[in-house]
Amino acid sequence: MFNSIGNLLKLTTFGESHGKAIGGIIDGFPAGLTVDFDAIQQELNRRKPGQSTIVTQRKEPDEVTFLSGIFEGVTTGTPIGFQIINTNQKSKDYNHNTNVYRPSHADFTYDKKYGIRDYRGGGRTSARETANWVVAGALAKQLISHIKINAFTSSVGDIFVLKPYQDLDFNKTETNIVRCPDEKTADKMIQYIKEVKKDGDTVGGTITCVIQNVPVGLGEPIFDKLHANLGKAMLSINAVKGFEFGSGFCGAKMKGSAHNDLFNENGTTKSNLSGGIQGGISNGMDIYFRVAFKPVATIMKNQQTINSDGNLTEIKGKGRHDPCVVPRAVPIVEAMAALVLADFYLLNKTRII
């Protein structure tokens, strides 16, 4: 509840962007996995600020320290505690906002809910929290290393990848700073984000995630459907406004005769509008889904707003923020997908006598 996700593989997190550290506890991780620490740091590097010209220029090393649960490089079955020290706590960037509710941020709702105003930037709502998820997701990936999780930027503003994912080479995702495996589209996206940034504005986009080599049978019917848990995990990511899998919203326009996935003799299906999931359970085909991200609310333009006294005021556009959150969100989407799948992978060990 609240700050935990997962049933058997459970991540619980803490931390605010301007506190001493963020971190978490991964409970239920099985014993016996030899941890690849470099792979974890690599995932953190994919998410960290300052990695390219189209993301926020804050400099944070985002180095994770494991405090427990791993002995001589191997998981022990006990909870894995970890933390990431906050080295870049420039509260002064935020002090001018002490009393002001930033439009489309959570300042207002937090203040009204808790009666407390932590004016040091996003506090608990900061996307910095997602670094915790990337750590846990990177470990989860190693637990289900046979399953391949490939997320990529599929649109920025009105610029879309038009090819079906089957025609993309996922190895190219990391070859450009926007994380789009379609190189020509990637160039356009990068160019567009630079323009938006120059203009002091921000822009939204979508991420598509394709999961391959999923065994048949993951997911629990009714209230732990595989796609429902994937959806909840994605909707937990900051700035996400929508989730669709398989045929998604397009499927809502179709007829059953066109939408049904007919079987091949080997149990695979000729089409895959189901998106690899039927009745909440994986059917062995590729799982794919799409996640919508709104534009970042912090813009470099002045905006009219109110303060906590209910008076109109103006908020200045300052600070160092992402013009488009999508490129840095790609590893976050993968991490959350990995956590969900690893959880169901463990659960599935218990479903037959």
Tell me which residues in 3-62 interact with a second copy (CB under 8 A).
Answer: 3-5, 7-8, 10, 12-16, 19-25, 27-28, 30-33
Q: Which of residues 274-293 bind a second copy (CB under 8 A)?
A: 274-275, 278-283, 292-293
Give the nearest distance from C-beta 288 to a second copy in angstroms: 12
Q: Which of residues 82-121 bind a second copy (CB under 8 A)?
A: 83, 101, 103-106, 108-110, 112-116, 118
Residues 193, 321 contacting (CB under 8 angstroms):
no
Give the nearest distance from C-beta 144 to a second copy in angstroms: 10
6-9-15 Cα angle (round to 5): 70
Residue 303 backbone dihedrals phi, psi, to 5 degrees: -135, 145
Give the nearest distance from C-beta 110 to a second copy in angstroms: 6
Please report, as a single letter, which amino acid is at residue 2: F
H or E element in which residue 94 lies:
helix 92-95
The correct pick among 212, 297, 319, 320 for binding a second copy (CB under 8 A) is: 297
Picking from 176, 211, 209, 124, the residue whose alpha carbon sits closest to that of residue 327 is 176
289 vs 209: CA distance, rounded Å: 5
Return the number of the residue (132 or 150) whose C-beta is nearest a second copy.
Answer: 132
Q: Which of residues 188-227 bind a second copy (CB under 8 A)?
A: 196, 201-206, 216-217, 219-225, 227
Residues 57, 320 contacting (CB under 8 angstroms):
yes
Residue 178, interface with a second copy (CB under 8 A)?
Answer: no
Picking from 220, 236, 229, the residue whose alpha carbon sits closest to that of residue 348 is 220
Return the number of the residue (32 or 164) whose C-beta is nearest a second copy.
Answer: 32
Return the number of the residue (32 or 171) whose C-beta is nearest a second copy.
Answer: 32
15 vs 24: CA distance, rounded Å: 8
Contact code string over 303-322 relative to a second copy, x by CB under 8 A? xxxx---xxx----------
Q: Which of residues 122-151 bind a second copy (CB under 8 A)?
A: 123-125, 129, 143
83 vs 66: CA distance, rounded Å: 7
